[in-house]
Amino acid sequence: MGYSYEYTRHAVATAPRTCGHCRAAMEVTLEVVGSSGAIPDYADTLATRERAMQAGLAHDLRRALPLVRCPTCRQRSTMAVRLAIARVAGWFALVPILPIIAPGGLDVLWLLPIGFAVAGLAQLASERARLRRADAAVVRLLAAPPPPKPAAPPPARLPAARVVSPAASAPATPTVEPLASAAPVRASEPMGDAPRLLRDRDGEP
């Protein structure tokens, strides 16, 4: 039966950070704690141990750096805070699941909820320690946040169009065109039966 070893190293790291709220640039110096994880005894060499601890330090730096408060707006990264809460809540969410899916008497499986609760408490202690180290970090402001963009002027409002219904409009005045008058008829012009009537009127045969 082999054995496994886990090593922990404390270091001080300096890294740049940009605030996600106000876009201020800063340089952060904080303490990080790296864990090598479980290394079996047959692979426990100095080079393997060094690589594992360097990876653990980089992993802790990625999680602790966004938790540092911005010196301008005093805000942490919202996503980093939510992920820290989710890592703790995930362990405690597993506690009531096993009794539901595996009901029964006293069984070895009932020891798993206790293990989940212990792991949740250990994760909570780790997140709180990381949060305290983030609060104790030294922050140097490199660039102030950019000024806010001026608000665009509101668009000009056009006057409301006046709608006139056809019923309300005045009736159109009809246009009367004069009729063309007939040309006067001259007596000397022949008018068909008119000469005969004139002769009868004068008494001529």
pLDDT in tens, 24-82: 999 999 999 988 888 887 777 888 888 888 999 999 999 999 999 999 999 999 999 99
Residue 90 falls inside a structural domain: yes
Residue 92 falls inside a structural domain: yes
Q: Output the pLDDT for position 58.
A: 93
Q: Residue 75: give the domain boundaries.
A: 4-143
Residue 23 falls inside a structural domain: yes
Residue 178 falls inside a structural domain: no
Residue 56 falls inside a structural domain: yes
Coil, helix or strand at residue 84: helix
Q: What is the arrangement of strands in the sheet containing 138-143, beginning at the earlier edge strand? A: 8-18, 25-35, 138-143
Residue 191 falls inside a structural domain: no
Its pTM stands at 0.64
CA 91 – CA 109 distance, rounded (Å): 16
CB atoms within 10 A of CB 107: 11
Residue 166 falls inside a structural domain: no
Number of domains in the chain: 1
| 96: region left, alpha or beta (phi > 0 left; psi from -120 to 50 alpha) | alpha
